[in-house]
Amino acid sequence: MLLRTLAIFLAPLGILVAWQENALVRVETSHSHKRRALESMAGSGGVLVLGSSNALYGICPRFLGARGVNLANVSQSLDIDLELLQVVLDRPWRPSTVVVAVSYLTAYSLLEETPEAWRLPAYRHAWGLIPSPWDQRLVASTWSRTALFTPRKALALAIHGGDLASEYDPHGCFLSLARSMSLGDPVAVARSRLAYHHSVMRPGHRLGNMDRLEKIAELASRAGAKTLVVLMPVLPDYHKGMDPAAWELVVHDLRRMRDHGRFALLDLSEAIHDPAMFVDADHLNAWGAAHVGRIMAIDLGWTGTPTSQLGQSRAGPEAQTSRLRLQ
């Protein structure tokens, strides 16, 4: 009798949960938006962009004058980049160039060990990537879309639907048109960003991440693609606050792999000095992304999209670009 009563009570709840889970599949997220962008690609040629949020904001195929997809995301680390490349290469499209953004933070960190680890379950839902840490596999949100949100938000999205990727362009890039560091204090923002980055960076992760980067280049090469590693721009105040010894180790590793023919290397870390091109100390806004696109397009031999297509450029005479070459 007790079991029957319990079953009668739980049945409607189970139906509600099943309906909600199914309804949430239709909610557009950054990952589902990028997955659809990838599914629209076919044949061969074009660019695949991997990396963390600095690539999400700062490298867009349309500014390179190329077709392609940006699969970079917030706090995405190189272990995830490697898995996503494997997902891409299991599909019909074959990119001709794989661009991997590397930064001070991503060289020394893994997403699973940061406060942003709550983002890992989204990769399972969109890409089928099972989190490596066992404790993350036991998290409800890894297996339930409902658990990705608060109960109220999950129900609202299930009923009304929603687009959580409305600010992303068709290639999967997040282009910030409204925000600019010219309205803030670059020194204070740089210190704040560095304080967080230093809190999650671990010296022991550098060699593992360099190994993952080398594996990305190997996979790309087997698929007939070239790999371009890009050191992303940061404001001068951020660069001054970096541990010079730690950064030099990363640059040395990258140059060594470049010299052994693993990939091409483009150092843009000190390429832009104008705060008006940044959202914060290490993220470009749309004007900065267009500027980087032109630099990369020249080095890659492509035709970049002019900044004028964004409207009036905010890149003033303060914008400084160091002498760059594809190394």
- 113-131 pLDDT tens trace: 999 999 999 999 999 998 7
Distance CA(319)–CA(75), nearest Å, equals: 27
How many CB atoms neighbour CB 259 within 10 A? 10
Residue 156 has pLDDT above 50, yes or no: yes
Q: Which of 274, 261, 271 is nearest to 325 (CA)?
A: 271
C-alpha to C-alpha distance for 39 and 201, rounded to whole angstroms: 34
**pLDDT at residue 3 tops 80:** no
Residue type, 17: V
Tokens encoding 86: 């494997």
The per-residue pLDDT for range 206-262, each reduced to its tens digit, is: 999 999 999 999 999 999 999 999 999 999 999 999 999 999 999 999 999 999 999
Q: Residue 261, SS3?
A: coil
Residue 132 neighbours by CB under 8 Å, 6+ apart: 79, 112
The Cα 151–Cα 140 span in angstroms is 13
- By mean pLDDT, which of 29-43, 118-132, 142-156 is the weakest? 142-156
* pLDDT(159) > 80: yes
pTM (2 decimals)? Answer: 0.88
Looking at domain 2-308, its CATH class is alpha beta
- Give pLDDT tens digits for 63-90: 998 899 999 999 999 999 999 999 999 9
Distances (CA, A) of 75 to 19, 137, 151, 214, 321: 31, 19, 25, 20, 27
**What pLDDT score does 148 carry?**
84
Tell me the C-alpha distance between 294 and 35, whole Å. 26
Q: Which two tokens stand for residue 280?
A: 């914060």
For residue 132, name the pLDDT band (cuts at 50, 70, 90). Answer: confident
Highest-pLDDT range among 253-262, 279-288, 317-326: 253-262
Listed by start position, the domains of the chain span 2-308
Confidence of residue 301 (pLDDT cuts 50, 70, 90): confident
Q: Using DSSP, state whether 44 is helix, strand or coil.
A: strand
Report DSSP letters for 100-115, one per residue. Answer: EEE-TTGGG--GGGSG
CA gap 290, 126 in Å, rounded: 28
Instruction: Give 42 or 243, the one with higher predicted confidence.
Output: 243
Distance, CA of 299 to CA of 228 (rounded, Å): 11
Q: Exposure of 157 by Cβ count < 10 A (0-12 exposed, 13-18 middle, 19+ buried)?
A: buried
